Amino acid sequence: MNLEQKRIVALDYGKKRIGIAITDPLRFFAQPLTTLLNDHTFWNSLRDLLSAYEIEEFVVGYPLKESGDKGELTKDIDQFVKTVQKYYKVPVVLTDERYSSGIAQERILESVTSKKKRRDKGLIDKNAAAVILEDYMKTL
């Protein structure tokens, strides 16, 4: 498969849910893909979801505090990254996710008219993953 068809996937880790975003084949855009429950089905669900894509690398949001110190979830995320690396033999990049959920919520408020849909936490998670991926793509 040629390089243009490889994708970058962002994962927005949470104790209950993990938001997932992916680049287009040419890696110009980040698009929210889905949100999966962070439970015993997660790894099989992720494998099934990503089986149609050739993944070049993963970007995982890393929650830093305003001071730049590690947040409370960083130990969980460090373990999560080790598992990602075990299942997928591609690089995993950690990136600051401090404002991703807030930016995702603003975008949802601007674009989703249904109040019921705006309350969907999964919608926020996958859009936060897209924000993380967009920020990362700016550094490429």
Q: Read off the DSSP letter of residue 138.
A: T
pLDDT tens digits, one per residue of 2-36: 545 899 999 999 999 999 999 998 889 999 999 99
pLDDT tens digits, one per residue of 91-131: 999 988 766 666 666 776 666 665 655 566 667 889 899 99
Domain ranges of the chain: 3-137
Secondary structure string (H, E, C) spanning 58-116: EEEEECECCCCCECCCHHHHHHHHHHHHHHCCCCEEEEECCCHHHHHHHHHHHHCCCHH
Residues 6+ apart with CB under 8 A from 44: none
Q: What is the pTM of this model?
A: 0.84
CATH number of 3-137: 3.30.420.140
Burial class (CB in 10 A: 0-12, 13-18, 19+), 30: buried
